[in-house]
Amino acid sequence: METFQGYERPDGSAGIRNYVAVIPSVSCANGVVGLIARGAPDCIPLYHGHGCGRSIEVPVHKRALVNLGKNPNVAAVLIIGLGCEILKAEGLVAAIAESGKPVEYLSIQRDGGSRKTATKGIDIVQRLLKEAESCKRKAFPLECITVGLECGGSDAFSGVTANPGVGLASDWIVDQGGTVILTEDTEMIGTSHILERRAKTPEVAAAIATMVADAEKLTHDLMGPLAPFVIAPGNMDGGMSSIQEKSLGCIVKAGSRSINQVVDYAEIPSQKGVILMDGPGYDTESLTGLAAGGAQLIVFTTGRGNPIGFPIVPVIKVASTSQLYQSMEDDMDINAGSVLEGKDLKDLGADIIALIKKVLDGERTKAEINRQDGILCLYTMHPAF
Amino acid sequence: MKPNVIIINPKDNVAIAVETIRQGKPVCLPGGGDFTALADIPYSHKVALQDIQEGENIIKYGEMIGKATENIGKGQWVHTHNLDIDHKR
């Protein structure tokens, strides 16, 4: 059985990175989080634009922030609250603490305003960083690994080179007892019947059918006659003619093994193997959902060239063509375009697996080197009040 | 001649151009054989591998990706101008 070198967490999970995260409970606390991050640059600030004003969606955003805090790559968490927000810091702390990891909070209105809160926060973060340093890597089986799957800025070759290559790596992870999460349900429209055939149980098949049908209905409700072409213009230019075509090329990332569970956006699966997450196709919101779902690593295929990463999760970029790989080499980890020049798809799959193993053990991806870790995007469907 | 298209699944009736193929130039298949491109096929776009009648399925990955909105000749460029999901236009 293959192993990787990870950081043990109190709940038995294994991180492949060892971060101290500073999370604002509400967007109004981003400034103080920024002061803390400048004073203690080794922490990871998770800036976001929510936490209040969208009462309908606060439960979803709470789940996302709590589960990001629980992500095994995070050793400890500091929450910065404001005081009058809907999404209370205390609630986030209590929920993250269930994982057993150190989690503390400050409240700007209680702790004396921005400067004083930031000064206290820097002290807390320095202490948490020192404690995290004492955690050393040790061997874990691959069944402890969850890999998130993402494609962004697809072209017609994403589904021909990069995604089938990643699909081979997904099969390998699942065969080792690990987990892969496929999301972006708008990119499953038109392929429900194919995914349902792979469901482990009739209940899972029904959940897939409902999820994809809801995504399709929503698209039709919002887009009307343009619904079949809910594809970013970049995808159209790349030769994709319908969402079905794009979807088929998208779902191949999850390989060929049985689908064992359907989870909500940012929900941590209780099953292993192939998991489908109900989430949007918008890359940045999707990455947040995957990371909150417990992914310690994300594999991201791109045809047009998307450089984004994620603050607490290494993101491996797989370029669908040599043209893209060469033009954005500082952003791309793997060149799947080699398949167009005659390379065997199985050899590409082996290259992706080899890189995954290195990244699990600590090798940095291009997105990590570039610090592609901006603001968190959280799934929203409703207007703010 | 060096192949300039990829066929993903044997059931497919379209192939993917690995390079831009100009109208009148040959479409060269991976397994050998060629036919003439009836239009410019942009890099990464689809070319019909056979005559496809209006209303017929367009197949890629061995699955239906849309229906032909007009008769499509072998060697024709296949994209949103002649492919639709619902075929109601």
Instruction: Please count the other Cβ atoms lying within 10 Å of the Cβ belonging to residue A206.
Output: 13
Whether residues A242 and B66 touch (CB distance < 8 A) is answered with: yes
Is residue A291 classed as helix, strand or coil in its secondary structure? Answer: helix
The token pair that represents A82 in the structure block:
């404001």
User: Which of A14, A302, A344, A366 lies closest to A162 in space, CA to CA?
Assistant: A302
Domain boundaries, chain B: 5-84
Q: Which residues of A touch B (CB under 8 A)?
A: 155-157, 159-160, 190-191, 194, 228-229, 236, 238-239, 241-245, 248-249, 252, 303, 321, 340
List pLDDT tens digits, range A267-309. 999 999 999 999 998 899 999 999 999 999 999 999 889 999 9
pLDDT at position A156 over 80:
no
Amino acid in the structure at residue A243: I
Whether residues B42 and A239 touch (CB distance < 8 A) is answered with: yes
Chain A hits for B65, Cβ within 8 Å: 190, 241-242, 244-245, 248
What is the ipTM, given to two decimal places?
A: 0.92
pLDDT at position B86 over 50:
yes
B5-84: which CATH topology?
2.30.130
Task: Give burial (CB, 10 Å; 0-12/13-18/19+) of B75.
Answer: buried
Mean pLDDT, rounded, for B19-46: 94
List pLDDT tens digits, range A163-194. 999 999 999 999 999 999 999 998 898 899 88
Residue from A191, A241, A251 to probe the interface with B (highest B Cβ count within 10 Å): A241
pLDDT at position A157 over 60:
yes
* Chain A nearest CA to B25, separation (Å): 19
Whether residues A157 and B44 touch (CB distance < 8 A) is answered with: yes
Mean pLDDT, rounded, for B3-17: 90
The rounded mean pLDDT for chain A is 93
**DSSP letters along A179-210, please?**
EEEE--GGGGTT-HHHHHHTBSSHHHHHHHHH
Chain B hits for A245, Cβ within 8 Å: 60, 65-66
* Bridge-based pairing state of the strands A103-107 and A74-81: parallel
Please give the residue of chain A at the shortest CA–CA distance from B67.
Answer: A242
φ/ψ bin of A341: left (φ > 0), alpha (ψ from -120 to 50), beta (otherwise)? alpha
Instruction: Give the number of A-B residue pairs with CB atoms closer than 8 Å.
Output: 61
Distances (CA, A) of A333 to A178, A286, A323, A363: 22, 20, 14, 11
pTM: 0.90
Whether residues A244 and B66 touch (CB distance < 8 A) is answered with: yes
The token pair that represents A363 in the structure block:
């090798």
User: Which of A353, A34, A313, A375 lies closest to A169 in space, CA to CA?
Assistant: A353
Mean pLDDT, rounded, for A242-247: 82
Whether residues A242 and B65 touch (CB distance < 8 A) is answered with: yes
Low-confidence winner among A111-115, A162-166, A379-383 (lowest mean pLDDT): A379-383
pLDDT at position A96 over 90:
yes
- CA A68, CA A287: separation in Å to the nearest integer? 11
Sign of the torsion formed by the C-alpha atoms of A205, A208, A212 and A214:
positive
Write b or e for each residue in A99-130: b if 16 or more Cβ atoms lie within 10 A of its Cβ, otherwise e: bebbbbbbbbeebeeeeebbebbbebbebbbe
